[in-house]
Homo-oligomer: A and B are copies of this chain.
Amino acid sequence: MKYLYPPPRLTAPVSLQGMLRDDVLARAGHSYGKSYADVVRAVARHFPHPPDLVAYPSTESELVSVLDWCASSNIAIVPYGGGTSVVGGVETDIGEGYRGCVTIDLSYLDKVVEVDTTSLSALIQAGATGPAIDAQLSKYGLTLRHYPQSFEFSTLGGWIATRAAGHYATVYTHIDEMVESLRVISPSGIVETRRLPASGAGPSPDRFFIGSEGTLGIITEAWMRVQRKPTYRVSRGVFFDNFNEGVECVKELAQSGLYPTNCRLLDPGEALLSGSGDGMKAVLILGFESADHRVEAVMSRGMEICAAHGGSLTESVGSRNGVSVTEISSSADVDSRSVSKWKDSFIRAPYLRDELVLMGIIVETFETAVTWDHFDELDEAVIKAVRGAFAYATGSKGWITRRFTHIYPDGPAVYYTVVAPGRAGAELEQWRTIKQAASEAVLANFGTITHHHAVGRDHRRWYELERPYLFAEILAAAKKVLDPGWVMNPGVLIEQPKNYGALSIVEH
């Protein structure tokens, strides 16, 4: 077979060869994640920097063997879960200074190892995907109940490494809250934290690894807090005449202590795109769930809040039940048409994106979180900046819509979708112009560069503006402890300090 890209630069020790692949499919398939730029490059068969080898360890000890070989041979390691990064987190363009690059694919570490039905916890291997986890927990009537949009493909280890957020709106939404303990293999050794419901003993070691994006080591398994499957469920779609009315309503819901499981506000454009609205009104998808108790009463209070802010039930429910916004159906599991339309659309969106890319259309999503007091100015600035970039880069008016994916008492997480016509061969440059305009507006208006897409390589320069300078020093110092050769996912999250080689490791 003819290589469309550079041949592998590495030959592995015989003892490791059984778990390594160097074929085209493995190498091309592990060159990129799933961002717009990744899809464009993959479609163009542009693979100048594939991993030299792809390792598929099926036990932790195999993983240790390949990691040790790489770390002792100056070979860069890219940990790989589901490969759904949209920020260059699994890209293998690792730069100069390494003998080569090995991607470690965790897909064979996909088991739920142990279930503690008393403490509602499960020990799960890092390579398990969303469906694999739920299938194995289902036997116990349990669920991790973490549904990022990438649920089908992404893995527990990836979620933890990138601080993923599920699709639930309030209380326990980020994977951070669900980690009871974790186990990390670093070049310097194993870090395993104690299973605890809570602790006040020093800074949380878990929280230091959650979000480390493979730069400190590879998470191999974690004890996760799981839940009983919900048996009571109510969902409603609510129309608002404009997005701002919906924003005020959602803020009150976020601060009410009602803790809805779903509280997504779609602007009129998003509502239209997802089929849950007519393009004139904003739509709020509000849902409550419980495995313990009926949730009509909290929905009733939620509907009161919606009504007070001018919300009205979506037509489908209104016409079916003929109820006012303050009444609710007595059924424990009613979805309005808007709700189910939105659900379908949520799951289909990534596939649709790939089709649009093939049609030469630029499709990008980016997201942030910001305190309520700065939301209006951030939103206005982002839309203005993106529209300016549309005009400059594509000569078109483009399309920008947004929704709230998660809400907190002190602010929303906002998710923007941008669509514009691409010019063949110039799409990446056009995309970069739009991305830069959006990111600058986010940072200048008190947002975070990412609420749940992680930093990777693509967000690094804005992350550098966001995080305290001395915290980057701390991350580099921690890396010197765990990964003195700087082989773990180089280029992601932090830049290697110039004098890094001179930094000695702490020894007792």
Question: Footprint of B on A, CB under 8 Å?
Answer: 116, 118-121, 162-165, 171, 173-174, 176, 180, 186, 188-189, 191-205, 207-213, 225, 227-228, 251, 255-259, 290-293, 297-298, 301, 369-373, 406, 408-413, 446-455, 459, 463, 466-471, 473-478, 480-482, 493-494, 497-500, 502-508
Contacts and interface: CB of A to CB of B under 8 A. Distances in A.
Contact of A208 (B118, B201, B207): B207
Given A410-B225, A455-B201, A194 B293 contact: no
B197 A204 contact: no
A121 B194 contact: no
Contacts of A468: 191-193, 205
A311 B260 CA distance: 30
A219 to B, nearest CB: 13
Given A194-B466, A208-B471, 4 more contacts: A176-B204, A203-B209, A297-B297, A474-B482
Given A191-B471, A203-B207, A476 B506 contact: yes
6 contacts: A118-B373, A191-B470, A196-B448, A197-B370, A200-B452, A499-B504
A470 B188 CA distance: 8
A141 to B, nearest CB: 12
Nearest to A176: B204
B119 A189 contact: no
Contact of A211 (B189, B203, B481): B203
A369 B203 contact: no
B507 A504 contact: no
B477 A412 contact: no
Contacts of A450: 199-201
A504 B506 contact: no
A33 to B, nearest CB: 15
A3 to B, nearest CB: 36
A477 B500 contact: no
Contact of A474 (B192, B410, B478): B478
A200 B196 contact: no
Contacts of A469: 189
Contacts of A209: 203
Contacts of A480: 477, 506
Given A191-B471, A478-B478, A410 B121 contact: yes
Contacts of A163: 199-200
A107 B119 CA distance: 42
A477 B475 contact: no
Contacts of A466: 194, 201
B194 A448 contact: yes
Contacts of A193: 467-468, 471
A497 B504 contact: no
A455 to B, nearest CB: 5
B165 A200 contact: yes
User: Shortest 9 CB-CB distances between A and B: which pairs?
Assistant: A197-B411, A197-B408, A477-B477, A207-B207, A163-B200, A199-B448, A256-B292, A119-B371, A119-B372
A449 to B, nearest CB: 6
A414 to B, nearest CB: 11
A210 B208 CA distance: 12
A205 to B, nearest CB: 4
B199 A369 contact: yes
Contacts of A446: 194-195
Contacts of A258: 292-293
